[in-house]
Structure 1
Amino acid sequence: MRRYFFLPLTLPFLIFLVLLLPLLFILFASTITIAFQKLGLPLPVAFTLFWAALIGSFVNIPITEIRSYGPIVKVAKVSFFGITYPVPYIDWGEQKTMVSINVGGALVPISVVLYEFIRLIILNENSLFVRTLVAILISTLISKAFSRPVKGLGIAIPTFIPPLIAASLALLLGGPNKPLVAYASGTMGVLIGADLLNWGKLKELGAPMVSIGGAGTFDGIFLAGIIAVLLV
Structure 2
Amino acid sequence: MRRYFFLPLTLPFLIFLVLLLPLLFILFASTITIAFQKLGLPLPVAFTLFWAALIGSFVNIPITEIRSYGPIVKVAKVSFFGVTYPVPYVDWGEQKTIVSINVGGALVPLSIVVYEVVRLLILDETFLLTRMIVAILVSAVVSKAFSRPVKGLGIAIPTFIPPLVAVILALSIGAYNKPLIAYTSGTMGVLIGADLLNWDKLKELSAPMVSIGGAGTFDGIFLAGIIAVLLV
Does the pair score TM above 0.5?
yes
Task: Please give the secondary structure, in 1, of the residue aligned with 2:168.
Answer: helix
Provide the residue aligned with 2:96 in structure 1.
96
Alpha-carbon distance in 2 for matches of 1:85, 1:45: 57
Alpha-carbon offset, residue 78 of structure 1: 3.2
Instruction: Name the amino acid aligned to 1:96.
Output: K
Task: Please give the secondary structure, in 2, of the residue aligned with 1:24.
Answer: helix
Provide the residue aligned with 1:191 in structure 2.
191
Alpha-carbon offset, residue 16 of structure 1: 1.4
TM-score normalized by the length of structure 2:
0.95
Task: Please give the secondary structure, in 2, of the residue aligned with 1:155.
Answer: strand
Provide the residue aligned with 1:208 in structure 2.
208
| Structure 2 unmatched ranges of 5 or more | none
Task: Please give the secondary structure, in 2, of the residue aligned with 1:62.
Answer: strand
Alpha-carbon distance in 2 for matches of 1:56, 1:134: 29
Task: Please give the secondary structure, in 1, of the residue aligned with 2:45.
Answer: helix
Alpha-carbon distance in 1 for matches of 2:18, 2:79: 54
Q: Percent identity?
A: 87
Provide the residue aligned with 1:23 in structure 2.
23
1:57-136 aligned within 5 A = 57-136=57-136
Give the alignment's Cα RMSD to 1 decimal.
Answer: 1.4
Instruction: Name the amino acid aligned to 1:218.
Output: F
Change (3 A) 1:11 1:78: closer
Task: Please give the secondary structure, in 2, of the residue aligned with 1:134.
Answer: helix
Alpha-carbon distance in 1 for matches of 2:158, 2:191: 14
1:151-230 aligned within 5 A = 151-230=151-230
| Structure 1 unmatched ranges of 5 or more | none
Q: Deviations over 1:80-134 (max 9, x none)?
A: 4444433222111110000000000000000000000100010010010000000
Alpha-carbon offset, residue 6 of structure 1: 5.2
8 A Cα contact 2:163 2:225, kept in partner:
yes
Q: Deviations over 1:140-169 (max 9, x none)?
A: 000000000000000000001000000100
Alpha-carbon distance in 1 for matches of 2:181, 2:85: 60
Alpha-carbon distance in 2 for matches of 1:74, 1:189: 38
8 A Cα contact 1:104 1:218, kept in partner:
no
8 A Cα contact 1:58 1:217, kept in partner:
no
Alpha-carbon distance in 1 for matches of 2:20, 2:87: 50
Alpha-carbon offset, residue 15 of structure 1: 1.3
Alpha-carbon distance in 2 for matches of 1:83, 1:10: 45
Alpha-carbon offset, residue 73 of structure 1: 1.0
Alpha-carbon offset, residue 10 of structure 1: 2.1
The worse-fitting range, judged by mean Cα deviation, of 76-85 and 49-58 is 76-85
Task: Please give the secondary structure, in 1, of the residue aligned with 2:77.
Answer: strand
Provide the residue aligned with 1:47 in structure 2.
47
8 A Cα contact 2:60 2:102, kept in partner:
yes
Change (3 A) 1:216 1:137: closer
Q: How many residues align?
A: 230
8 A Cα contact 1:57 1:215, kept in partner:
yes
Alpha-carbon offset, residue 9 of structure 1: 2.1
